[in-house]
Amino acid sequence: MSVAFSKRALQKCEQIIEQYPQKQAAMLPVLHLAEKEFGHISLEVEQYVAGLLEVPPVKVHEVVTFYTLFPRERRGKYHFQVCRGLSCDLLGCNNIMRHLKKKLRVKVGGTSKNRRYTLSEVECLGACETSPMMQLNDDYYGKLTTSAVDKIVKGLK
């Protein structure tokens, strides 16, 4: 199966590339666009992006494997990232993680069979004043308790 941007994403990609003096310089924003479009950055997506940017696929692969923010496999609709930094650790992130594993029936680094949830642990999310905290897709949730987690999960569509 070959991958290709939708017409709309391709237009957006062209707009992004136009903003840079060289196509290669647009790699990060184009990869973010590809992640949104395809849900992850597989080898096939890397090759597609390489073609768009007119660079060897290995150049894209180097960037994708350097940054942890590009998922290599398809994630669930809801991606829970529980902070395991020092401040969150001291304030109970282990408890939050244990609770989420049980509630979502997913192990750390895993995705539920129905592709609804992915659970990850991450280092400091830069919001230590609200420890313990997690990121759920693009949103941050702080001062977490297990009952707050229950409310958040219940509110998901």
Among the residue ranges 26-34, 68-76, 100-108, 127-135, the one whose residues contact ligand FES (CB under 6 A):
127-135
Among the residue ranges 41-49, 78-86, 99-107, 143-151, the one whose residues contact ligand FES (CB under 6 A):
78-86
Binding mask 26-45 for ligand FES (x = CB under 6 A): --------------------
| Closest by CA position to 153, among listed 91, 73, 89, 99 | 99
Total binding residues for ligand FES by CB under 6 A?
A: 12
Task: Yes or no: say if 36 and 49 are a contact pair by the CB < 8 Å rule.
Answer: no
Rounded distance between C-alpha atoms, residue 38 and residue 45, angstroms: 8
* Shortest Å distance, C-beta 134 to ligand FES: 9
128 binds ligand FES (CB under 6 A): yes
83 binds ligand FES (CB under 6 A): yes
86 binds ligand FES (CB under 6 A): yes
Q: In the complex with ligand FES, which residue's Cβ is closer, 69 or 86? A: 86
- Cα distances (Å, whole numbers) of residue 11 to 8, 25, 41, 51, 79: 5, 17, 19, 15, 28
* Shortest Å distance, C-beta 89 to ligand FES: 7
Sign of CA dihedral 19, 36, 108, 145: positive
95 binds ligand FES (CB under 6 A): no
Among the residue ranges 16-24, 36-44, 86-94, 104-112, the one whose residues contact ligand FES (CB under 6 A):
86-94
CB-CB neighbours of 80 under 10 Å? 26
